[in-house]
Amino acid sequence: MPPATAPPRGPGGPGGRGSPGGPGGPGGHARSSGPAGAAAAAGPLAAAAVSGVLAALASVFSKLASNSAPASGGVVYSTLCRAVVPAAAAAAACSGSAAADAAALDDYNRIAAVVRVACVACVLLSNAAMWKTFTSALSRADASIHVTVINSAANMIVTGLCGLAVFGEPVRLQWWVGATLVVVGSILMGRSEHGGDAQQLRPKHE
């Protein structure tokens, strides 16, 4: 008598989707909520954070490209001005004083023009990379709201830090409180939406 063979493991079989041993059954999950699921979810969430950072950097490069004045263009242009302009004229020229010698800024203006063109290129590259990582995170994440929350949080935090470090802009406590409230509200909305979806997917027993 030939030995019994197991039935084929097709989509509806014991090892397939929708069966107790398959990814869709009680014994297996397509996206587990355990440690393995957390490790798998780290990919899209990390991509969402990177896309938020890239969006913030695109804003920084855009501002650097739009204003090259050494007095108001940020630490990049003020440092460049002090490095290029002779020391005797740097104090007046780099502070935006009306008594500054225009000829002393000729070399600075030429170099600043090159820097502005480079910043425009960085804006385009940052935006392209941001959209690529953001759409990749959306396509791999369990819920789009999670990607949006991480992206917004990373964008706001990096924007505030870059504004403080590069442009010397004061980041007040109210700004951080507002950013925190936006992130917390998005998380609560995401949990509510995820709970409603889980309740709809729960099997009905007669």
Tell me the two tokens of residue 51.
């896309």
Q: Give the pLDDT of residue 98.
A: 63
What pLDDT, on the 0 to 100 scale, is given for residue 51?
94
pLDDT at 202: 52
Q: Report the pLDDT value the prediction gives residue 195, as an integer from 0 to 100.
A: 57
* pLDDT value of position 94: 82
pLDDT at 121: 97
Closest CA to 149 of 139, 141, 123: 141
Residue 22's region, left for phi above 0, alpha for psi from -120 to 50, else beta, is: beta
DSSP the chain: -PPP-PPP--TTSTTSTTSTTSTTSTT--SS-SSHHHHHHHHHHHHHHHHHHHHHHHHHHHHHHHH---TTTS-HHHHHHHHHHS-HHHHHHHTTT-TTS-GGGGHHHHHHHHHHHHHHHHHHHHHHHHHHHHHHHHHHHSS-HHHHHHHHHHHHHHHHHHHHHHHS-----HHHHHHHHHHHHHHHHHHHHHHHHHHHHHSPP--
Model pLDDT, residue 190: 62
Predicted TM-score (pTM) of this structure: 0.68
- CB neighbourhood size of 43 (10 A): 13
- pLDDT score recorded for residue 117: 96
pLDDT block averages, 10 residues each, the chain of length 206: 49 44 43 42 80 95 93 90 83 73 82 95 97 93 83 87 89 84 72 55 50
* CA 55/CA 91 separation, integer angstroms: 35
Lookup: tokens for 156: 């706001």
